[in-house]
């Protein structure tokens, strides 16, 4: 039997959106109020997988090590409340300085990689993001997208309605 997943954008969904690159660990603020609805989904067997553009790496605004430190904080915060994040995929490229890639949202490369790696059924999964490109990337991988406002509380019932839709 295939797995099912909740794909999650990072900035503005799992951590506070500052409308710029988060370059320092001290500016990385986990939105802990997102954990209870995501823990309910996790407890129902959904994998929690992060899909995030991190073009600031290509722009030399921060490093892979700083990104890894932020993700470690995020993973530990969730695990402390009983919800495990399976994986965080990130695109380190930026169109102004990188060659074209398949991973940067609105392209679906990161989702397709996750779907293949974790044997996920896209039709049983959703992507929650705060930008239209998150929904576009989801749709390109056969996953339904849910658009929320930056830092908006994830509505468990709305997610379930989309999953059942």
Residues designated catalytic: 9, 11
- The 3-state DSSP class for residue 136 equals helix
Instruction: State the Cα angle at 10 between 97 and 144, rounded to 5°.
Output: 100
Please report the DSSP string for 101-114 in residue order.
Answer: -SSSTTS-HHHHHH
Q: How many CA atoms lie within 13 A of 97 on its CB side?
A: 11
């Amino acid at each position: 039997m295939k797995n099912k997943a909740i794909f999650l954008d990072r900035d503005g969904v799992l951590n506070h959106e500052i409308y710029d690159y988060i370059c320092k660990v001290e500016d990385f603020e986990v939105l802990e109020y997102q954990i209870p609805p995501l823990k309910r989904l996790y407890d129902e067997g959904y994998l929690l997988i992060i899909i995030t553009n991190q073009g600031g790496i290509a722009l030399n605004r921060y490093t892979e090590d700083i990104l890894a430190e932020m993700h470690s904080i995020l993973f530990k915060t969730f695990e402390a409340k009983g919800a495990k994040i399976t994986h965080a995929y990130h695109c380190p490229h930026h169109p102004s300085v990188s060659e074209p890639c398949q991973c940067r949202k609105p392209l679906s490369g990161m989702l397709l990689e996750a779907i293949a790696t974790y044997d996920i059924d896209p039709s049983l999964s959703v992507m929650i993001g705060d930008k239209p490109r998150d929904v576009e990337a989801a749709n390109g991988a056969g996953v339904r997208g849910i658009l929320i406002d930056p830092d908006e509380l994830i509505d468990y019932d709305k997610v379930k309605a989309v999953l059942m839709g």
